Every structure is written in structure tokens, then in C-alpha cells.
Amino acid sequence: MAKKVKIGFYNDEGVLLSALKVLRHKDIKIHNVFTPYPVHGLDDIIGLKKSRLPIVAFIVGALGAFGAMGFQIWSLALDWTINIGGKPGLAIPSFVPITFEIMVLSGSLSMVAVFFLRNRLFPKLKVDNIIDPRATNDHYVVSIDPECCSDFNSNELENILKETGAIEIQDKEVIE
């Protein structure tokens, strides 16, 4: 569904950060911020929760490791024990390298997969969720949802943004 938001453009990291502080202070709910690079400290200001992606990596990685070790043991020690150079079928030490590799592989791939899903990152010929081309280049864009801060009308909001140093203000429809 489309959503009407007000967006303000900034062109300096410092200004952006201070602006965001002001907005928070005026408890204007910040709908989203778009930056050309990861701006540090942003998360706390707009109150993003820490991502739980590493947990995925850990669980799937662990599963991968167990699977790999298990398969090696099963295939060489249980399914069909062949005398290989007089070594015991159950040769755990020589199963370690592959176990490790599989762990890393499954862990990282799964995490990345989930990362794509959660951010709805899929190949599209026509991208639809771009706030503004400049947001990936040299501008920092703050979008505010007018509905969630009813004690300001849109003009007041624009003024506030201007005061905080926004160089430009627009109304825009974004897709949730």
C-alpha cells in the first residue's frame, strides 16, 4: 500500500545527525532515513533494534557442521566401511576440515539469504522503493510520516525540517 510521507534532504552527515536529534526531541516520529553510506550512530537516534541475523548464521552453521560430520561418519564408518590404507573407518580427525568448511558455507549463505528476504532485496527490472536518486549519491533523506505526529500540521513540519538544516522538502508516496 502506498503511504504519504514528508521527506527532507540534508547534505552533511553532521547536520543530519543533529537534525535527527532535534526531531526526536520534538518527538516527531521519523519514518525512515536514507543515506548513501552507513552513517554510524543513526540506529540509536532513530531507535533501530539490533539485527538478529547472526543468530541465523549460528544455528544453520551448527546444523551444517553436524550434518557434514554426520554424513562423513555415516558414509565411511556405517554405510559401507572400506579398508582405506589400513585406517579405521571412523577417522574423526580427517573429517574435521570438511565439517568446518560446510559449517562456514551453510552459516554464511543462510544468513545472507535471510538478509535479502528481510530487506526485500530481490532482482527487479524496475525498482519501486527508491525515495530519491540522490539518496544513494550525496544526500541524506529523512522521511516523516505526518499521520503519526498529529500535533504538527504539514507546514509546521516543513518549518521544523528547514530549521534543522534540510536543504529541500518534498511530499512523497512510498510503498510500505
Partner 1 sequence: MHDESKREPLVHSVSSLGQITEEVSKPLNERPNKVWYIYFGISLALLLFGAISLYFTLFEGIGTWGNNKSVGWAFAITNFVFWVGIGHAGTFISAILLLFRQKWRNSINRSAETMTIFAVICAAIFPVIHLGRPWLAAWFLPYPNSRNLWVNFNSPLLWDVFAISTYFTVSLVFWYIGMVPDFATLRDQTKNKIKKKIYSLISINWNGSAQSWSRHEIVSLVLAGLAAPLVLSVHSIVSTDFATSVIPGWHTTIFPPYFVAGAIFSGFAMVLTLMIIIRKVFNFDKYITLYHFEQMTKVIILTGSLVGLAYSTEFFVAWYSGNGFELFAFVNRATGPFWWAYWIMVTCNVVSPQLFWFKKIRTSIPAILILSILINVGMWFERFVIVVTSLHRDFLPSSWTDFSATWVDAGLFIGSFGLFFTLFLLFIRVGPYVSIAEVKDLAAKKLMRRSEDHG
Partner 2 sequence: MENDKKLYWQGLEELNEDPAFLKSLEQEFPEELPIMDKILDEEVINKPSSRRSFLKKLGFGIGSATLLAACNKTPIKQAVPYLSKPEEITPGIANWYASTCMACSSSCGVLVKTREGRPIKIEGNPDSNSEGAVCAIGQASLLSLYDNHRIKEGAKIVSELKNGTGKPIEWNKVDNIITSELQKIKDKNGKIRLVSTTKVSPTTKKIISDFCKKYNAEHVTYEPISHSAIIAANKESFRDAKNTPIAVLPKYHFNEANIIVSFSADFLGTWLSPMEYTRQYVKNRKLEHIVNDKLVKKLVMARHIQFESTLSLTGSNADVRIPVKPSEERLALLLLHYTIAKKAGKSVSQDFPTTLQKSIQLKVINTAKDLWINKGHTLVISGSNDVSTQIIINDINVMLDNYGKTIDLDNYSNQMQSNDEEMIKLVDDIKKGQVEGIIFYDANPVYDYPNFPSDQLKKVSLSVSFASSFDETASIVKYICPDHHYLESWDLLEPFRGYYSLMQPTIHPIFKTRSAQESLLRWMGDSKTSYYDYIKNYFKENLASKQKKSWEQAVHDGVVKLNSLPVSKPAFIADINKAKTSILNDCKNFIKSPIEVVLYSSIGMNDGRHANNPWLLELPDPISKVTWDNYASISPKYAEKGNLKQGDIIELNLNNKIIRIPVLVQPGQAYETISIALGYGRTKAGNAGNNVGQNLYPFVRVSNETLNYDISGVSIRKVDDGYQFAQTQTYHSLRDPILKRPRGIIKETTLSEYRTDPASGNKDFLNLVTLWSERPEKNISVHAWGMIIDLNACTGCAACVISCQAENNVAVVGKDEVRKRREMHWIRIDRYYSDSPDNPEVVYQPMTCHHCDNAPCETVCPVLATTHTIDGLNHQAYNRCVGTRYCANNCPYKVRRFNWFEYTNNPKFNYNMNNPVGKLVLNPDVVVRNRGVMEKCSMCIQRIQEARLKAKNAGVKLADGDIKMACEQSCPGNAIVFGDLNDPDSRISKLYYKKFKQNRQPRVFHVLEELKTLPSLGYLTKVRNKSIIEKEG
Binding residues (CB under 8 A) for partner 2: these are: 82-87
83 binds, options partner 2, partner 1, none, Cβ within 5 to 8 A by partner type:
partner 2
Smallest distance from partner 2 to CB 64, Å: 21
Name the E strands within 97-159.
140-144
Interface residue with partner 1 among 1, 2, 25, 37 (CB under 8 A) is: 37
Q: What is the dihedral of CA 125, 129, 130, 131, to 10 degrees?
A: 170
Q: Is 63 in the site for partner 1 (CB under 8 A)?
A: no
Q: Is 137 in the site for partner 1 (CB under 8 A)?
A: yes
Burial class (CB in 10 A: 0-12, 13-18, 19+), 111: buried
Comparing CA positions, the residue from 115, 102, 116 lying closest to residue 60 is 102
Q: Is the backbone of residue 172 left (phi > 0), alpha (psi -120 to 50) or beta?
A: beta
Alpha carbon 22 to chain centroid, angstroms: 25
Interface residue with partner 1 among 19, 28, 76, 149 (CB under 8 A) is: 76
Q: Is 148 in the site for partner 1 (CB under 8 A)?
A: no
Q: Is 134 in the site for partner 1 (CB under 8 A)?
A: yes
Given the complex with partner 2, which of 86 and 123 has the nearer CB atom? Answer: 86
Binding region for partner 1 (CB under 8 A) out of 2-10, 21-29, 54-62, 147-155: 54-62
